[in-house]
């Protein structure tokens, strides 16, 4: 059973819906006891870094998730903001992230990107090393974000480019996975990725 | 980001309908069933416009169901007049909101862009051609303005992320997109454009991308089987797109 962590940011119905379509059972919960019993976790999220971390702490999930992820090694998939919260900190705000990835999240506004921000739309994703989530070299996913992980980020498994600027869009570090894009809005490509995660 | 092919779905009193020249609405079917089909067909994105009377307000329950059902991004437009409404809609899992009537209030549009991000707020602009000039009529005051000037204003003053441009007379006509207006717009206005109105097939979509549109939208094409109007929710598959050399 996959537990989708509900910390009050956005609609996570479509993640559960896509898993249901794949025949994968899941439960949406903010209860750490339920998360303990899950075989895998999904940390979704939309919105700002600080508001995400504050909500996590308010629900007393910070220590619990550290325990489940770092000690019990339960596989966890961070999606969009969820992925960013796994970093150390973000140019977006002041809060400290989980720090599972030794990386800072950076702002597109500090680049001459020639794109409207948030960056929003479909883009092809290139896997840069063998990994468990993305094998299809023609995979494309739907993105909506204003902050990003550097392409040199350790444990980066896939990148995407906007007007020639390449950045990390997925990482894999032991039991910890993160994707910048929204698999639940990327139909068959998203389904393949969630299936791969569910099958681990 | 990649070009998109976008079905436009019209909602009237919770039902899916199709128009011709912005009137003569025909019942098409149930919106959620149609959304499920577009999921199967792997549509890039959906535009859902609620054209019910403004006294109906915004149907958040239905939008929540649509957002949960869709495995692709959704733009919603219809009766949006405040930032609180936009926040509520986005929280349901809708990716973008489209503003049409409320474009007369540029302060509102601008504050929505500031609060929610440029890419989240889309302007939906309908126009007609009068004596060879594209004109936009304000839905409230009925004042006419030149389309290009109107677009320049909303892009500069409100920093809109994208514009959906619809030629009203071509709606439901299968006569092809109004690419000459699109070209004039693209020459003068710096904003991604999604074209709508008149699409008859993949050749029109290809021409739209070649003319510089970031998105090509269609209503009739994706809900009818032929212009004899047998209803069939449809969407081009990858082999059809390859045949026409359309890349996204």
From the list A194, A197, A186, A148, the residue with the least C-alpha distance to A168 is A148
A190 contacts on B by Cβ (under 8 Å):
71
pLDDT, mean of residues A22-45: 96
Strand bridging mode B121-130 / B96-99: parallel
Tell me what pLDDT residue A42 has. Answer: 98
Q: Which of A117, A121, A162 faces B117 most closely, judged by CB atoms?
A: A117
Inter-residue contact B45 to B27 (CB < 8 Å): no
* CB-CB under 8 Å, B93 with A11: yes
A48: pLDDT confidence band, cut at 50, 70 and 90? confident
Question: Can you tell me which residue has the tokens 């920093």?
Answer: B159
Tell me what pLDDT residue A11 has. Answer: 75
pLDDT at A92 over 70: yes
pLDDT at A10 over 90: no
Distances (CA, A) of A50 to A4, A68, A72, B108: 20, 22, 26, 26
Tell me what pLDDT residue B15 has. Answer: 86
Burial of B46 (C-beta count, 10 Å sphere; 0-12/13-18/19+): buried
Q: Which of A18, A120, A184 faces B119 most closely, judged by CB atoms?
A: A120
Per-chain mean pLDDT for chain A: 93
Q: Is A80 a catalytic residue?
A: yes
Instruction: Give the whole-angstrom CA distance, residue B218 versus residue B224.
Output: 11
* CB-CB under 8 Å, B67 with A11: yes
Q: How far apart are the first and last CA of chain B?
A: 9
* CB-CB under 8 Å, B69 with A17: yes
Q: Which of A17, A123, A188 faces B2 most closely, judged by CB atoms?
A: A123
Instruction: Give the whole-angstrom CA distance, residue B33 versus residue B51.
Output: 19
Burial of B63 (C-beta count, 10 Å sphere; 0-12/13-18/19+): buried
A94 touches chain B (CB under 8 A): no
From the list A82, A170, A178, A76, the residue with the least C-alpha distance to A123 is A170
Tell me what pLDDT residue B227 has. Answer: 58
Strand bridging mode B144-146 / B4-12: unpaired
pLDDT at A111 over 80: yes
Residue of chain B minimizing CA distance to A141: B72
Residues in chain B where the model's pLDDT stays below 70: 225-229
pLDDT at A112 over 90: no
When computed from its CA atoms, the radius of gyration of chain A, rounded to whole angstroms, is 15
Tell me what pLDDT residue B114 has. Answer: 87
* CB-CB under 8 Å, A10 with B1: no
* CB-CB under 8 Å, A10 with B93: yes
* CB-CB under 8 Å, B71 with A186: yes
Per-chain mean pLDDT for chain B: 90
Residue of chain B minimizing CA distance to A189: B42
B161 touches chain A (CB under 8 A): yes
A144 touches chain B (CB under 8 A): yes
- Cα atoms in the 13 Å half-sphere on the side-chain side of A29: 17
The distance of B84 to chain A (nearest Cα, Å) reads: 15
Instruction: Give the whole-angstrom CA distance, residue A200 versus residue A190.
Output: 16
The distance of B24 to chain A (nearest Cα, Å) reads: 33
Residue of chain A minimizing CA distance to B114: A117
* CB-CB under 8 Å, A119 with B119: yes
B73 touches chain A (CB under 8 A): yes
Which residue among B126, B171, B178, B204 is the active-site one?
B126
Q: Is the Cα torsion angle A125, A157, A144, B118 positive or negative in sign?
A: negative
Q: Is B114 a catalytic residue?
A: no
Strand partners, B16: B11, B29
Tell me what pLDDT residue B228 has. Answer: 63
The distance of B140 to chain A (nearest Cα, Å) reads: 30
Q: Is A156 a catalytic residue?
A: no
The distance of A119 to chain B (nearest Cα, Å) reads: 7
Q: Does this model's pTM top 0.90? A: no
Question: 3-class SS at A90?
Answer: strand
Instruction: Give the whole-angstrom CA distance, residue A85 versus residue A179.
Output: 11
Q: Show the tokens assigned to A124.
A: 């092809």
Which of the residue ranges A11-15, A183-187, A194-198, B95-99 would you say has the lowest mean pLDDT? Answer: A11-15
């Amino acid at each position: 059973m996959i537990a989708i962590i509900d910390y009050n940011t956005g609609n996570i119905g479509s993640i559960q819906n896509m898993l249901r379509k794949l025949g994968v059972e899941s439960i949406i919960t903010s209860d750490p006891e339920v998360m303990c019993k899950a075989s895998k976790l999904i940390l979704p999220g939309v919105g700002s870094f600080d508001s995400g971390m504050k909500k996590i702490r308010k629900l007393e999930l910070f220590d619990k998730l550290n325990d489940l992820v770092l000690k019990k090694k339960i596989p966890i998939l961070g999606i969009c903001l969820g992925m960013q919260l796994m970093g150390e900190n973000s140019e977006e705000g002041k809060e400290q992230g989980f720090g599972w990835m030794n990386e800072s999240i950076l702002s597109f506004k500090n680049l001459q990107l020639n794109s409207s921000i948030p960056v929003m739309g479909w883009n092809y994703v290139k896997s840069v090393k063998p990994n468990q989530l993305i094998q299809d070299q023609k995979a494309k996913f739907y993105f909506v974000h204003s902050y990003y992980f550097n392409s040199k980020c350790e444990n980066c498994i896939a990148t995407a480019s906007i007007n020639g600027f390449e950045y990390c869009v997925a990482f894999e570090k032991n039991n910890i996975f993160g994707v910048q894009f929204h698999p639940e809005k990327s139909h068959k490509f998203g389904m393949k990725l969630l299936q791969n995660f569910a099958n681990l | 980001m990649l070009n998109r092919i976008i079905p436009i779905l019209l909602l009237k009193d919770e039902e899916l309908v199709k128009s011709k020249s912005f009137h003569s609405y025909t019942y098409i079917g149930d919106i959620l069933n149609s959304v499920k089909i577009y999921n199967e067909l792997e549509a890039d994105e959906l535009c859902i416009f609620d054209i019910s009377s403004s006294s109906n307000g915004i149907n958040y329950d239905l939008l929540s169901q649509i957002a949960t059902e869709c495995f692709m991004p959704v733009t919603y437009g219809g009766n949006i007049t405040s930032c609180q409404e936009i926040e509520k809609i986005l929280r349901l899992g809708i990716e973008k909101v489209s503003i049409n009537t409320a474009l007369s209030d540029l302060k509102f549009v601008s504050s929505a862009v500031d609060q929610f991000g440029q890419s989240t707020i889309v302007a939906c602009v309908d126009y007609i051609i009068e004596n060879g000039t594209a004109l936009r009529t304000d839905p409230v005051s009925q004042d006419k303005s030149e389309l290009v000037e109107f677009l320049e204003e909303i892009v500069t003053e409100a920093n809109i992320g994208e514009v959906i441009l619809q030629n009203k007379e071509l709606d439901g006509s299968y006569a092809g997109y109004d690419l000459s207006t699109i070209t004039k717009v693209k020459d003068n206005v710096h904003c991604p454009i999604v074209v709508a109105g008149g699409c008859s097939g993949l050749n029109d979509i290809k021409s739209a991308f070649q003319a510089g549109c970031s998105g090509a939208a269609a209503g009739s094409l994706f809900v009818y089987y032929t212009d004899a109007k047998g209803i069939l929710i449809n969407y081009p598959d990858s082999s059809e797109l390859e045949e026409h050399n359309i890349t996204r």
